[in-house]
Amino acid sequence: MPIENTLGVVSYELTSSSHSAFEVNEKGEIIVTEPTDLDYELGNNTATLMVVATDSLGNTSAAAEITINIEDVPEKTTEQPIATASTDSSSESSGAFAWLALFAIPFAALRRRKQK
């Protein structure tokens, strides 16, 4: 019959890490403390952590090796898009020319009537 540990874990400790971006909190959860250090493009594809647990009597567990795979995520840009001017002048000027023609038609009709 196995003996149960009724003392409970008091603390967790990160004994070694291949990456400085991770820590272990009081609940034993691995958290990211430096997200800017997780740059996949610089070759940071994996991280290996060694974590031990300590109970209330000071007994320490064997180190657990944890491997974290870091995925490539598209980075959000904070730059605003740059507006560029169109080099197709026919689409820009055709609207202005059409309005001008609509206004000029009545004047042309009036001028022809005066000359007759």
Is the pTM higher than 0.85? The answer reads no
How confident is residue 70, by pLDDT bands cut at 50, 70 and 90?
A: confident
Domain locations in the chain? 9-69
Give yes or no for a contact between 9 and 55, defined as CB atoms under 8 angstroms apart: yes
Range scoring the smallest mean pLDDT among 63-72, 89-98, 101-110? 89-98
Question: What's the Cα-to-Cα distance from 3 to each of 6, 7, 62, 85, rounded to whole Å?
Answer: 9, 12, 17, 76
